[in-house]
Structure formats: C-alpha cells, structure tokens
Amino acid sequence: MTDSNPAHSAVQKPFRRLLLTGAAGNLGQQLRGALAAWADVVRVTDIAPLGEVAAHEEASIVDLADEAAVLALLEGVDAVIHLGGISVEAPFEDLLEANIRGLYNLYSAAQKQGVKRIVYASSNHAVGFHPVTEVVDIDAPLRPDTLYGVTKCFGESLSRYYFDRFGLETVCLRIGSSFEQPKNPRMLVTFLSYRDFIELVRCSLFTNRVGHAIVYGVSDNRTKWVDNTKAAFLGFRPQDSSVEFEHLFPVSAPTADLDDPTQRFQGGAFILAGPMEPKR
Amino acid sequence: MTDSNPAHSAVQKPFRRLLLTGAAGNLGQQLRGALAAWADVVRVTDIAPLGEVAAHEEASIVDLADEAAVLALLEGVDAVIHLGGISVEAPFEDLLEANIRGLYNLYSAAQKQGVKRIVYASSNHAVGFHPVTEVVDIDAPLRPDTLYGVTKCFGESLSRYYFDRFGLETVCLRIGSSFEQPKNPRMLVTFLSYRDFIELVRCSLFTNRVGHAIVYGVSDNRTKWVDNTKAAFLGFRPQDSSVEFEHLFPVSAPTADLDDPTQRFQGGAFILAGPMEPKR
Amino acid sequence: MTDSNPAHSAVQKPFRRLLLTGAAGNLGQQLRGALAAWADVVRVTDIAPLGEVAAHEEASIVDLADEAAVLALLEGVDAVIHLGGISVEAPFEDLLEANIRGLYNLYSAAQKQGVKRIVYASSNHAVGFHPVTEVVDIDAPLRPDTLYGVTKCFGESLSRYYFDRFGLETVCLRIGSSFEQPKNPRMLVTFLSYRDFIELVRCSLFTNRVGHAIVYGVSDNRTKWVDNTKAAFLGFRPQDSSVEFEHLFPVSAPTADLDDPTQRFQGGAFILAGPMEPKR
Amino acid sequence: MTDSNPAHSAVQKPFRRLLLTGAAGNLGQQLRGALAAWADVVRVTDIAPLGEVAAHEEASIVDLADEAAVLALLEGVDAVIHLGGISVEAPFEDLLEANIRGLYNLYSAAQKQGVKRIVYASSNHAVGFHPVTEVVDIDAPLRPDTLYGVTKCFGESLSRYYFDRFGLETVCLRIGSSFEQPKNPRMLVTFLSYRDFIELVRCSLFTNRVGHAIVYGVSDNRTKWVDNTKAAFLGFRPQDSSVEFEHLFPVSAPTADLDDPTQRFQGGAFILAGPMEPKR
Amino acid sequence: MTDSNPAHSAVQKPFRRLLLTGAAGNLGQQLRGALAAWADVVRVTDIAPLGEVAAHEEASIVDLADEAAVLALLEGVDAVIHLGGISVEAPFEDLLEANIRGLYNLYSAAQKQGVKRIVYASSNHAVGFHPVTEVVDIDAPLRPDTLYGVTKCFGESLSRYYFDRFGLETVCLRIGSSFEQPKNPRMLVTFLSYRDFIELVRCSLFTNRVGHAIVYGVSDNRTKWVDNTKAAFLGFRPQDSSVEFEHLFPVSAPTADLDDPTQRFQGGAFILAGPMEPKR
Amino acid sequence: MTDSNPAHSAVQKPFRRLLLTGAAGNLGQQLRGALAAWADVVRVTDIAPLGEVAAHEEASIVDLADEAAVLALLEGVDAVIHLGGISVEAPFEDLLEANIRGLYNLYSAAQKQGVKRIVYASSNHAVGFHPVTEVVDIDAPLRPDTLYGVTKCFGESLSRYYFDRFGLETVCLRIGSSFEQPKNPRMLVTFLSYRDFIELVRCSLFTNRVGHAIVYGVSDNRTKWVDNTKAAFLGFRPQDSSVEFEHLFPVSAPTADLDDPTQRFQGGAFILAGPMEPKR
C-alpha cells in the first residue's frame, strides 16, 4: 500500500524541529507517531519516562518549572505542541508550579528563542460551569469549573498577551475527553477520538496563519455543547463520532435531581472536584 | 432481524409511565408505536376515539379543559408528550378552551403530581410572521401568524414560568409540516418526516437535562428558514429530507406578486387564516 | 400662570376620542387629567365606579369579558390606553377572563372599529425571572414571574399579531412600580413617578409611528435593571428619580441568603406569589 | 440515459427570457449550457465575441456604459444573471465605466422594463480585508481589498436601494475562486467548482422570494473563512470540495512573515493589487 | 470677554494647514470661523464663490472631478474636512461626477500627498431606509434611501479601503439635518445644531487616533433614531437639542397612513426623491 | 454642617467588619475615611506601614503570600475590599507571589471563613490591548497588555470560579487612572476621580446582590473607551469628569505615527512595559 499523505514525503518534511511536551502522557503517546511525518526532528519531553526514543526524536526529562532548563529546551524549535502540565484537578500549589509558572517559562523561552507557534492544550474545563442546556461558542465567557480550569484560563490569557505583544501565535485546544472510548454518558458528548485529536493538531500546526485561536476539541458526536463555527478557518472537520459507543451506556430516563451540579453543568464531576487540599 | 435499538431492551424500560395527549391525531398515531419501547405503561388520551388499545397502553377520553379530569390524568406520570389541543387556526373561543385553559390545566396538574418533564408541541406558527428571506434561530422574537400561533406563544411562556418557578422541564417543539410527504412547495421547506419527528421526541425525552428548551422540528431539507444551532444540546440530527419529494412540484419561475403575504412570510397560507369568526 | 404646553391649545385637540380602560384604578386616575388636553372626548371605563365625570368625558361601566359590550365601547375611538384587567397575581380563572379573554375582545373590537393604536399596560413581571444582576433590554427573552406575568406575555404576542396582520399599532409599557413613592427597597429600582408615567403615555400616543413597540416604564433611578436604548424612537426621557426617596430605606449590608428567590430575581416578592388557588 | 431533472421539461420552461451578461467570460460560458433548461430564450451579451449562438439564444454585443443600449437590452427580460463588468483590479477610470456607470444603467433599465430579479456577481473582495483568522458571515462589515472590491460594495448598496425602493430583487453572489481547479493554496479555501456555481445561480433564480440577499459562493472546502448560515433560505448546498485538489500544493510549515498582508487577509494577493494607475 | 478655549492659543496652532471643501455651502460657512483657531492656514475650496477670504485662508475654485487640480489642492495639507459634492438627490450623472469620481480624486490625491486624515460628510441617508421604529447604531446595515445615499455608501467603502490599505484615517459623519432650526417635524429627530456640528468636526480632527470611524451627527434631541455608543471614543457630546423648537410644530395625532413610505422610514421625503431623470 | 448621608447613622453601621487590603496605597488611603461610616470595625492591612490607626480600625501587616496569615486575617470579616498586590508591570516572579498566590490565598481563606463578598481591584489593563478606536463593554474578550494585566485576568477567572462554586460574590473593578488629576492626555479618558472611586466601592458593597460582576472604573469623561451599560444594576453613576483638567494638556494635532502601539491601544505606555526581567 502506498502512502498518499502528502505530509509523508521523504524528501523534505515541513518542519525542521517540533517540540512535544507531555510526551509521556496519554495524548502525547498518540501524537508521537504522527509527528514523525511532520518534522525532521521531534524533541519530546516530560517529567515521566519517555519510553523508546525513535531515530528522529530528541528526548529530555525537563521540569517546566525550571526556567533555565526550559529556555534550553526551546532552542532551535519551530513550533511547540504543549500537552505538559497537570490535566486534572490538583492542589493549587501543584497547579501553580506546573500550569502557571511552567507555562510562563514556556512562553517566555519561546519568545526569546524565536518560536513561531504554540499549540496549547487548554480544556473544556475552562468553560465547564456553563449549563448543559447551552451551546457555547469560542467567544463564550470563561466559566472554569475547577482550579485546574482557572489555570487553563490563565494559559489562554497569557498566550493572548504573547500574541498581541510579540506575534507569537497560539491555538488553544479546549479538549474534551480524548480516550480510546467514552467512559461514561457525559463523555458521549465530550468525546474526541485519537484520530480526530491528531487531525486537530495537524490543522493547528499547518494552517498558514492562526493568530490567537480557540477551538473545541470534540468529535462529531450526536449531542453538542460547543460550536466551532467561528474557528472554521482552522479547517478542523472531525471524522469520528461517539455514536458507535452509545450502546455502552444503557438508555435511561433522565436523572431526577435537577439540582445536582454534576448533572447541570458541562464540567460534570469536575464541578465538585476542587479545590483540593494540598498533600502534606 | 434483530432489534439493535438499545431502547428496546425487554428487561427494563427507561420510563415507568408516559402520557401521550392528542393520541388519536396524525402525529399521536405515529408516536404510539415508538413509545412502547420507552415506557412500561403509556397512557394515551384524546377527545376523539383512540382506536385499538395495546397491552401496555392505558386509554382515556379526557377534555383538557376539565380541570379535575386532567389532575387525575397526570397521576403517576413520569413525563408527558403533549400533542393535544387544536393545531390549526380556529375561533378564539375554541382556542381559549383547548390551548389556553387546557394547557394551564395540564401544567397545573403536572406540577401538583410531580411530573418531571413535558414535551410540548408548539409550532413554527409561533414565528410565522418572519419573512421567508430570514433564517430564525431559537431566540428569534415571537411573531405569531394566527390566533393559533398566539396560543403557542402562550404555551411557551407558561412552560417557561413552570420551569423557572418549579423546575418542571419542557421542550417546546416548533413543528413544521409533519405528514407522509409535503403537500405543497412551502412544505418542502417545513417538512418533518415521521421518522425525524419520532427521533425529535426521543431526544426530548431522553436528554438528561433540557431545562426549558425550544427546537425547530424540521427534517434536513435543502432550504432552511430555521437554525437549531443553539439547541444542539438535544442531539437532534434529522435523517430525512424533502429532497426526494421535490419532483412532486413542477419547477417554475418565482411568483410575481412580492406583496402576497402568503408568499412573503414563513407562515404561508396561515397568514390569512385568522382571526376566524366563532361558529354559532 | 400661563400654560405653555402646546398640547393644551383650546382650538383643536390632537385626538377626537381616546378610550381609557381601567380608568378607576391608581394609574387611570393619574391619567384622566392629562387626557383632557389631548382629546376632545375621553371615554373612560372600568368595572369599578368612575367617580366624578368631567364634561369632556364619556363614562361607562364595562366588563372586558363581555364581547358585545367591548365592541360598542370601541366605536368611534381613535386610540386606546388600556390599563384595565388584573395587575397583580390572581387565580388563573380570573386572569383568563380579564387579561386573556378581555384582551382578545379589546383587540378584536379595535380592529373591527378601525382603531389605530393601543397603548397597552404590560408589566416588568413579563420578564421578572431575570436575575437582578442582569440588565435586560427590550429584546430580552420573556421570563414571566407569575401567571399574571404569563398573561402579559400573551398580551405582547396578541398585539404583535394584530400589528403584523392588520397594522394596528401597540406600545407595550412594561411598567415597573408606579406609586406616589417607592414602598420598599426594590421599588427604588423599579419606581416610575406619576409624572414620568404620564409622559410615557404621551410619547406612546403622539410618536408618529410606533409599529409594535416595547418600552420599560421606569424613572431615571440610580440603579437600573432595564435598558430602553432600542426604544429611543419613542422619545421617552424620564425626569424623575427615586434618588430622593433613598433616605426612606435605611442602608444595610446585603442580605445573606443568596438563594432567596425574591432577592435573586427582578420580580421580587412576585416570584413566590403564584400560582394562586381559585377562590371558591 | 433519461433526463430526470424536472427543469428540463420540453413542454414549458420556467422562464420566458433570461439575460446573461458577461456571457463570453469564464463563468458565463459555464452557465450558458445550464440556462437552456431554465428559459425559452436566453439573451446573451458581452463586449467580447460570444462564439457560437444556440437556437434558443439571442446574442448582442453591448457596452454596459451605453445607457440607451442597455435599456433596449433589458426589454422583455424576466430576470438577469449579471456577470458582466470588470472582475479584477483595474484603473479607477475603467472600473467607473464598467462597474459603476454600467451597473447603474443595468438597474435603471431593469426597473423601467419591469424586470423582477437580478443575480449579481459580487465578490469576496468586497470583504477581502478581513483577516484569515476570522469567519465572516453575510452581515460582516464591508472591507473591500481593492478599488474593484469598492465597486462591488457599490453594487451591493445600489441593488439594496432598488429593492427597498422598487421591490426589484437581487441576490449578491460573493464569488470566491471559480475555476477548473484551485491555482494556489489560498484557492483551496475560496474554491467554487463550476458545478456548485451553476447550482448557486439555480438557487438564486428559482427560490420563490429572495428580497435583497447576500451569499458567499464557495464549495464545501475543508477550511472556511465564510459562513452562509443566514442565507440558508436560498437552499444552496455545495456538492464539491477542494479537498481533492489539496495534493497539488505541497504541505509546508506556515510562512514566517506574519506581517505580509497577502497572508494576513482573506483577499490574498489582491490586497496589494491596487490602486492601479490608468493606462494612458 | 476672554476666550478660554485652549484651541485658540495665538502662539501655536495645532495644524499647519487644513483643507475645507464645500466651503461656500451652508455648513462650510459655519465652519470657516472655527477653523481659524485650529490651523495656521485654512485652504478653502468650492465650485461656488467663496466670499470674503480671511488672512489665514487660501481660496481656490476647484471642480473635484478634475483629477490634476485636486492633486494640487491636496499639497501640503495635514487634514481635510470634506463637505464638497452634492448633498441632495440628483441625476445619477451628476452624482457620479461629484460624489464618486470627485471623491476618488480626493482620496487618491490625499494618499499621494501624505494627508493623514479626512473628515468626510457622509449622511444619514446612507441608512435612510431603516424604519422610524428602529434605533440604528454605527454597525447597522447600509440602507440608502436615494442614489445620493448610495454615493455616500460608496464614500464609506472607499474611505475604508484607503484606511485598510494605506492607513489614511477617515471619520464618516452621518449628518442629519444641520440648519439654523428644524424645518419640519422629522427634523426634530435629525436636527444637528451648528454648534454641535462644529464640535463634531473638532472631535473628529483632534481625537488622537480614529482609524476608520462612523458617527451620527445629531444633537441631543428628545427622540432618537440613532445610537453613537460605539463611537464614544470620539468624545462627541452634543450640547444642543431640538426640544427648544418643538413648539414650532403643532402637536397632532399620528398620521393615519401607515404605508406612506415618507412616514415609515428614517429618510423621510428623501425616500421618494429618486431616482431623478437627468437634466438635458 | 449636618451629615445627610444615611450611611453615617451613628446608631448602627451596615457592616460589622470590613477588610481593606492595600490600605497603605494611594487608593487605600482614600478609602479609609469612607469605610468608617460603613462598618463598626475596619481591618486594614498592607505590607507597608499603615500610618495612624483610627479607633475603629484593626491594623496588621500581612504578606498575602503567607497562607496561614491570610486565613487568620479573614476571620470574622463580612466583606473585603481587595486593593492589595502589585498594580503595575513587574517581574513575573513578583506578580506570581503577590497577584496569583496571594489572590488564591485570599479567596481560599474567604471561602473557609464564610466571607460573603469581595470587591476586587482588577484593572483596565486586563483589556488594554483593545484599540483606542473601539468601545469595550464588560463582555469584551480579555486582552491583557502586560503580565500584570494577565494576573488581573487570572483574578477575574478565579473569582468567577469561587462564585459559581461557592456563591462567594465578587465585583471586579476595572479601574482606570485614579489620581488627584490626570497626568497625561491618555488619562483624560481613563480618569477616575477619588470621589467616584469611593462611590464605586460603595455601590459594590451595598448593592444587595452582585453575583460575579465586572464594571469599569472611570469618571464621566468626555471621551469613552468603555461602556458600563450591562453593569447598570450596580447603580454606579460617576459625578466627576476629566473635562476640568483638559486645559492641562495643550491641544495638538494627532500624532503622526499610526503604528506606535502606545497610541494605538487602550493600555497606552503599559503596552511596552513588559515583560520585565526579574531583579536579581
């Protein structure tokens, strides 16, 4: 079988060097394969072990809260896919280091090193306190549902500043639930297949100009809480849907308790997850 | 042939008891079959004869203007699909009894009996005085095209009140033209297939939380006057289209008379239907 | 003292005959004096005694639910100021007669008699379930806070229909709290002085063309929950303010109970007033 | 093979006489075949040679700047497809004659001759100064990217006036790039296939009432800069996409120069095309 | 009496040279006095005699349709107040020369001569086909009520292009009715006092950065059809009102004919003024 | 002179204990006098010396980054006016401690101690990258102009979370330039007099319910970049204006350099202030 994907040309790859943070995580692992076709060199980093390193990969273990290490990490990088940091509710102290200080270090270093673009894993938890009876578009007011969500709002503001001030472009991916398959009924709405996730990153990297963009990362599920109409310039067209997984969750009458916040708001169980006390 | 619809599980049906009003009418008859899979007991009611009553059905002839009868009718009901009342222009006195007093009786009884949700057959005639050169979404201003349409506006306001005041949820279905097939060129735009109608009711009943929702009931026809983007949380995705019926209506140049209100407004011939004098 | 108001010309008054319903009520009494300058004849009506009848007045006791009587009442009328009907929460049966059947009778008769315009006393209780932390404009979604509010929504829809269908113009006045002075802290926000009320009616009658208009009836109070920007074509500029009455209500810290619906919503105590059981 | 298109009935065609201007141009030639099925007579005109004239065609060479000739040209015409004039940047003097004076002559003559509708080839260059990181709908502010684009804004205003004043309907087609295939990466976004172009004209001619409508002429390409939601009453559903041509343009990293106006704005290279000096 | 206006400092005037076109017209004459304080030299031009020329003035008779003359006229000019051209409905041929060709000549010359800003006399007739029952803001769709209005839309598009393309700033003044006093009841709404007109020009010239701005030129009249909220960055605060002239127009009941277009639309009698036949 | 302010009643003050942070700063000092009338006890805190302490004041020197100290500081407090933290651009490390960690400590402690409301000094620098040719309302997208501005966005998100999650109310004051008088021409637009500042805090404390509100803190200056219409429920009506200070800045023609970011954007000189390198 021949490879008809034009990105796979052996002669010349579009990017010289991409940086992938959070490369040891769930989504990072999904992405490493795709990145091989897009860049001559893929620098992969995490605070966790990175597993087998491919020929085209440069691996390094870096704590994003380490300013000097991050500055070195960004050297020679064309663009970044930033999946690093904490992606669930956690004690504020931990979020502060990973998602606030770490993100500042990343942007500060990227600007100093002349990086052109960052694809930033934001989250639908930045708007999780919108009710499930609304459809939010990319201009909807921020309504974080956790301290974690608050740090994602911080990332969207910080990256906006770096674009307005320095022209460093960012696509904020408000990723829903990207797993092998939905794990509960709520994820039928928020599901993002791995294939669609990779396509979303591809659009975010290759669209010629993105400015500071926000886009929801969901597959073409039957029920929608989000609307990407205003982000159509990114060309993201999901190919998958959670419809094929609907049989996993037995049909039932609606839950009776209208006041249950985990049922009322898009954030689901996250609504009650925080704030968490620090681990001491 | 096996039934792969998860709602058809024989073991346990999602609802214990559903009430269907207007069960003898055109759409009521379409729905009775589907309801069998969704509830252990389906209470069917109308002022007209209900035909053959299935094993899982409870049939009763009730005039919705009869307050006490309606209170009894709602006892033990989980959710209501309200297709009852008058669905065309009629003398105000008749509309007052069926669509205003009758609807109040229904909501008052539902609240007293602890019913959780009502799926309410509103109509696109609540907004029929919008021109055919506009696309109206679910927040468009009310523009009833008949006294009948005015009573549908009343129903949307009354149900909004019962939700805000008591948490009794309602989905208002602004149904277009739901028949076997379109009967005139206008219905190519407003057509709702029976299959899509049943799917719309399914979404309205099973979406976990709907609050007070409004949604247009139209199939995926080529031409659209309405936009359900903001109702995407209901998960309604029509599967049919009037395209297959376009051959029924010979292609012609546009009508010359731009001032003909039945051509200018979405309500079509309804525009001139009222007010009707009472039958005496 | 000379009368510099141009409307007071003795030679020729602008209207031949105006009809004032609810003429025996609080606001009706305020208005009777002003109407003398605007019309040769003022027909005043109510179901309660109308007091002393001036030379230019025609008085009649009419129940608006009496279709034939209302048809006669509208004969020879240029324009109507409709303050009649029930203006507080009441059993649905009573509201049905006065505010629904009665209003239909009024519009039906007005259209048959060739009346040009109706100034309709709607109410801020048509939108009373909006929170006090929002400012609603005249396109805000209807959110009635009582069955009374639902009937005011009905009136706004019915009058819209009569305008779209027959060109019978209406100004819907969403009147706040029009009394001698505010009676509680909420009324500092909703206060409409008698002078501003009369001015609002004047604008509604004399603006050359109003179509179907909606306007909030509030004075220029310090705190605002409503925004009349889109109704500026009516020329209503309140001259009074509740500021002079602020001393009546001792300053206090905000109430502690954020969940108290009478504090959360613009409708105030009306929120809990309904539905009322019928008096039997 | 039988022709199942109902428009192809030999007995009676929907229009008696259509006028096609710019009939010798690229899109005009595409359209001449389709028009045969829609009208008994197709009057074709251009300032360039019109090639072979079919039996149902009336051909004439007319300069639109010639007022008297245009008046004669419009005689007996039901509707016009106006593709004439200049469709690229040009010296203002030339644009003035062809796109301003010529267009006025066309509308003035059409109104005098009782023409019912004009399908007007506007252009996405009327909004070409919107950035490529925005999705513009049909209400977006005008942002012409050339003097040519300014003349297209003129055409949209002039046709609006003729509709508001005389009821002469117009559909303004903001055509993107309609060629055999995209010629550069930007055209992957703006591509309109010939088949979709013809369908767009069909919708514009046959929709019963269009008022003064604006619609973007693009196929269902992956990336979108425009949104036709509010024009859905026209029933235009593109069937083609530029996806099949993506392989023509090798994938590359985004261009580095964020300030390059031809990359920043939707108009692309047109941004720098004008103003052109007159040819002397 | 001392002059406390800081603009009147004799030492140094803010502008070196301003150009005033249409200087012989009604508003031009009003402005000439004020300009003395704002610029060392005021170049005044018209096709009509300019009357007495002050010491600080440079007068020249120039036809704006004369490209070369206009290029010379703009030499050494800091900013332009463009009141020239035709300001009422006229035959298209005349409008084409004065308001289209003339305006292009002005902008083309201004760009070549390095002029920084133009204050352009647009008109409320660019939006005169909006109904009198709406309040239009500066983003309202263009609805010209005359061919004259169409040329004002052209001017707004052309100036937008010159700003987007070259950074040449423009403030489009949608002037209402600027006379000594209102001449008819409609002008009570559209009145702009001479003092407020001068203040509007002052704001347009001295606001540090205006980009491409649109603002309605009306005094603080009781009734408003327009809303300048989004233009508040210009700092225009009218000090006058037509209230003092209301006594000139006897109060009357609304006109009976709702269909009279001169009463329905903001453009008033202009609605029926065009198109005019050329004078031959 | 008698004190007619109803808040000054000696008998009973509305609040038992208010906390003022940043009490040693410019605005803190302005506010201390006013607070005496509003609370029995005013707890004042800062990291700088607090000067003379009044009888009704409790003074303490607390670093907001000290979690335990902040928890103690909030004990027994009804409401907080939070002026503490850094109010200009600073190295990120400093902002992180004062405006991010410090703010989290404040909200975390307030929630644990049962505080009802926080009046939070946000800043117009949260939206400073909007151009000076736009008027932004309280829903405008965040556009921070400095890292300082980014921390203010963080504060707005964090406080939104605490309101949605726990009902802890916040009013975010986007304060402009609050000094004795404007110090440069830009401050003529952003000026907030001390008197209006105090009134804004008064409205924020005493409005019965505020939810999570955002309001711009500017006086009634001639030129406006911001629009508080949607915050009118707070009742803030500025009494002062920068007009009286306009004479301080000599009138001049607009600056020539349109690309100067300190002239293009509302943030003014802040635009170029960051990011600052840490002081080492």
Active site annotation includes B148: yes
CB of F68 within 8 Å of any CB in chain A? Answer: no
Contact: chain E with chain B (3+ CB pairs below 8 Å): no
Cβ pair B86, B95 in contact under 8 A: yes
Tokens matching residue D266: 């939707």
Q: According to the model, what pLDDT value does residue A194 have?
A: 98
Give chain B's mean pLDDT.
94
Nearest to B100 among C100, C139, C274 (CB): C100
Q: According to the model, what pLDDT value does residue D2 have?
A: 41
CB of A17 within 8 Å of any CB in chain D? Answer: no
Tokens matching residue D234: 């026209």
Q: If you count residue pairs, one on A and one on D, with CB atoms under 8 Å apart, how many are there?
A: 66
Three-state secondary structure call for residue F191: strand
- Residue B22 backbone class (left: φ over 0; alpha: ψ -120 to 50; beta: rest): left
Confidence band of B11 (pLDDT split at 50, 70, 90): low
Rounded to the nearest 10 degrees, how much is the dihedral formed by the CA atoms of A217, A220, A222, A223?
Answer: 20
Alpha carbon distance D113, D126 (integer Å): 29
Confidence band of A252 (pLDDT split at 50, 70, 90): confident
Q: According to the model, what pLDDT value does residue B156 have?
A: 98
Alpha carbon distance C254, C259 (integer Å): 13
Sorted by sequence, the CB contacts under 8 Å of residue E186 that are 6+ apart come out as: E177, E268, E269
CB of A220 within 8 Å of any CB in chain B? Answer: no
Nearest C-alpha in E relative to D144: E161
- pLDDT tens per residue, range B41-56: 999 999 999 999 999 9
Alpha carbon distance A174, D247 (integer Å): 29
Tell me which of A250-259, C153-162, D132-141, F41-50 is least confident.
A250-259
Alpha carbon distance D11, B266 (integer Å): 31
Residue type, B254: P
Compute CA F263 distance to the chain's CA centroid, rounded to the nearest angstrom.
24
Task: Show which of residues 78-117 on chain B sit within 8 Å of chain C, judged by CB atoms.
Answer: 92, 96, 100-101, 104, 108
- pLDDT tens per residue, range B249-273: 988 899 878 789 999 999 999 999 9
Alpha carbon distance D267, C73 (integer Å): 65
Q: Is the pLDDT of residue A5 over 80?
A: no
CB of E1 within 8 Å of any CB in chain C? Answer: no
- pLDDT tens per residue, range A137-159: 999 999 999 999 999 999 999 99
Share of chain A residues as helix, strand and coil, in percent rounded to the nearest 5: 35, 20, 45
Alpha carbon distance F134, F226 (integer Å): 8
Q: According to the model, what pLDDT value does residue D280 have?
A: 60
The secondary structure of B140-198 as a DSSP string is SPP--SSHHHHHHHHHHHHHHHHHHHH--EEEEEEE-B-SSS-SSTTHHHHB--HHHHH
Nearest to F233 among C132, C254, C264 (CB): C132
Alpha carbon distance D55, A232 (integer Å): 46
Q: According to the model, what pLDDT value does residue F280 have?
A: 60
b/e string for C101-120 if b means 16 or more Cβ within 10 A? bbbbbbbbbbbeeebbbbbb
Residue E167 and residue F258: Cβ atoms within 8 Å?
Answer: yes
- pLDDT tens per residue, range C247-275: 999 888 898 788 899 999 999 999 999 99
Cβ pair A219, A238 in contact under 8 A: yes
- pLDDT tens per residue, range C64-114: 999 999 999 999 999 999 999 999 999 999 999 999 999 999 999 999 999
Nearest to C229 among E222, E227, E247 (CB): E227
Whether the link from the prior residue into D275 is cis, omega within 30° of 0, is yes
CB of E209 within 8 Å of any CB in chain F? Answer: yes
Percent with pLDDT over 70 in chain C: 96
Cβ neighbours of C227 in F, within 8 Å: 229, 232
Cβ pair B159, B110 in contact under 8 A: no
Q: According to the model, what pLDDT value does residue E224 have?
A: 98
Q: What are phi and psi of C26, to 5 degrees?
A: -55, -55
Paired strand residues for D191? D177
Alpha carbon distance E36, E31 (integer Å): 9
Cβ neighbours of C142 in B, within 8 Å: 142, 156-157, 160
Q: If you count residue pairs, one on C and one on F, with CB atoms under 8 Å apart, how many are there?
A: 66
B245 min Cα distance to partner chain C (Å): 32
Helix axes C26-35, C194-206, angle to 10 degrees: 60
Long-range contacts made by residues E198-201, C-beta under 8 angstroms, separation at least 24? E198/E30, E198/E31, E198/E34, E199/E236, E199/E237, E199/E238, E199/E239, E200/E173, E200/E236, E200/E238, E201/E31, E201/E34, E201/E81, E201/E119, E201/E173
Give the best residue of F77, F199, F206, F208 to mutate against chain C (max C CB count within 10 A): F208
Q: According to the model, what pLDDT value does residue E9 have?
A: 46
b/e string for B57-94 if b means 16 or more Cβ within 10 A? bebeebebbebebbbebbeebbbbbbbbbbbebbbbeb
Three-state secondary structure call for residue A41: strand
> What's the predicted TM-score (pTM) here?
0.95
Domains of chain C: 15-251+258-272 (3.40.50.720)
Alpha carbon distance E129, E120 (integer Å): 21
The CB-side HSE value for B22 (13 A sphere, CA atoms) comes to 22
Alpha carbon distance E276, C55 (integer Å): 54
Catalytic annotation, pick one of C107, C148, C162, C194? C148
Residue B251 and residue D7: Cβ atoms within 8 Å?
Answer: yes
Residue type, D262: T
Three-state secondary structure call for residue C111: helix
Residue spans of alpha helices (H) in chain E: 26-35, 67-73, 92-95, 102-113, 147-166, 187-190, 194-206, 261-264
CB of F9 within 8 Å of any CB in chain A? Answer: no
Q: What are phi and psi of A109, to 5 degrees?
A: -70, -40
Q: According to the model, what pLDDT value does residue A137 have?
A: 98
Alpha carbon distance F133, F164 (integer Å): 34
Nearest to B116 among A134, A229, A256 (CB): A256
Three-state secondary structure call for residue A249: coil
- pLDDT tens per residue, range B178-226: 999 999 999 999 999 999 999 999 999 999 999 999 999 999 999 999 9
Three-state secondary structure call for residue C279: coil
User: What is the mean predicted confidence (pLDDT) over A40-63?
Assistant: 97
The secondary structure of C24-82 as a DSSP string is TSHHHHHHHHHHTTTEEEEEEEESS---SPPTTEEEEE--TT-HHHHHHHTTT-SEEEE
Alpha carbon distance C194, C34 (integer Å): 11
Cβ pair A32, A45 in contact under 8 A: no
Nearest to F117 among C135, C224, C254 (CB): C254
Q: According to the model, what pLDDT value does residue F250 have?
A: 87
Chains touching F (at least 3 CB pairs under 8 A) are: A, C, E
Catalytic annotation, pick one of F104, F107, F120, F148? F148
Catalytic annotation, pick one of B148, B162, B194, B216? B148
Alpha carbon distance F207, C225 (integer Å): 12
Residue type, D4: S
Helix axes A194-206, A26-35, angle to 10 degrees: 60
Cβ pair C61, C72 in contact under 8 A: no
Q: According to the model, what pLDDT value does residue C277 have?
A: 86
- pLDDT tens, residue order, chain F (280 aa): 344 454 444 558 999 999 999 999 999 999 999 999 999 999 999 999 999 999 999 999 999 999 999 999 999 999 999 999 999 999 999 999 999 999 999 999 999 999 999 999 999 999 999 999 999 999 999 999 999 999 999 999 999 999 999 999 999 999 999 999 999 999 999 999 999 999 999 999 999 999 999 999 999 999 999 999 999 999 999 999 999 999 999 888 898 788 899 999 999 999 999 999 887 6
Tokens matching residue C224: 């605002």
CB of A259 within 8 Å of any CB in chain F? Answer: no
Which residue from C152, B258, F245 is spatially nearest to D165, judged by alpha carbons? B258
Give chain D's mean pLDDT.
94
Q: According to the model, what pLDDT value does residue C250 have?
A: 87
Determine how many CB atoms are found less than 10 A away from the CB of residue E245: 18
pLDDT < 50 stretches in chain E = 1-9
Whether the link from the prior residue into B275 is cis, omega within 30° of 0, is yes
- pLDDT tens per residue, range A159-216: 999 999 999 999 999 999 999 999 999 999 999 999 999 999 999 999 999 999 999 9
B137 to B122, B216, F70, F193: CA distances (angstroms): 15, 9, 49, 44
Alpha carbon distance A197, A218 (integer Å): 8
